[in-house]
Amino acid sequence: MKIRKATMADLDIVVDILRDGRNQLAERGVDQWQGDYPNVEHVKEDIVNGYAYLVQADDDQTVGTLAIVNAPDHFYDKLDGKWLIDTEDYVVIHRVAIHSKHAGKGYASKLFISVIDYLETARPEIKSIRLSTNENNLVMQRVIAKNGFTKLGTLHGAFRPTELSYVYELLTRVRVTSKG
């Protein structure tokens, strides 16, 4: 599995995967993404800023998408909890989705493995990877935990006043094991 930066030529596929992800969440009774987030404008911003990525299986089929957002991410300013490390050298993973036609094949876990490997190789200055998910998104919570992330707090009202999100962090191996 590999990830590559999305371009404006990929806009429709990224939007399609995210809409499909919204539908998957709704089918599981998860309220996450059921409003106007994420939308086409979010995706355009992600692409322009270099945050949007496509996830490709070994056969080069596009199976998913995600955004890797550079620090600082003020989305987490009201975190109820404490980060594992106090640093500005972090990225945040947002808007992760695997298309339903590729569900159940382990691509979500492979996505996280590929992203962690990518960041540790291409972005060695990064000390921490952060993310969050809705309290009811049990599938994503399992994938996050399986890939070594530590649950360290909550966010209240991230997108809607009554929404509760769990926040996670992973310290990168490169920074944890190296000097300085």
Q: Name the E strands within 73-156.
A: 80-81, 90-98, 128-134, 150-156
What's the pLDDT at 160?
72
How many angstroms separate the CA atoms of 158 and 179, rounded?
A: 36
What's the pLDDT at 175?
39
What's the pLDDT at 162?
79
Containing 69, the helix (H) or strand (E) segment is strand 62-70
Strands of the sheet containing 62-70, edge to edge, are 2-5, 52-56, 62-70, 90-98, 128-134, 164-171, 150-156, 80-81
Q: What is the pTM of this model?
A: 0.89
- Please identify, in words, the CATH class of the domain defined by 2-177: alpha beta
Containing 99, the helix (H) or strand (E) segment is none
What's the pLDDT at 161?
76
C-alpha count within 13 angstroms, C-beta hemisphere, residue 68: 22
What's the pLDDT at 140?
92
Report the helix count and the strand count for the chain, using DSSP H and E. Answer: 5, 8
Joined tokens for residue 57: 């299986």
What's the pLDDT at 17?
94
CB atoms within 10 A of CB 170: 22
One digit per residue, the tens of pLDDT, for the chain of length 180 reads 899 999 999 999 999 999 999 888 889 888 788 877 888 999 999 999 999 999 998 888 999 999 999 999 888 888 999 999 999 999 999 999 999 888 888 888 899 999 999 998 999 999 999 999 989 899 999 999 999 999 999 998 777 777 889 999 999 974 344 444
Structural domain spans, the chain: 2-177
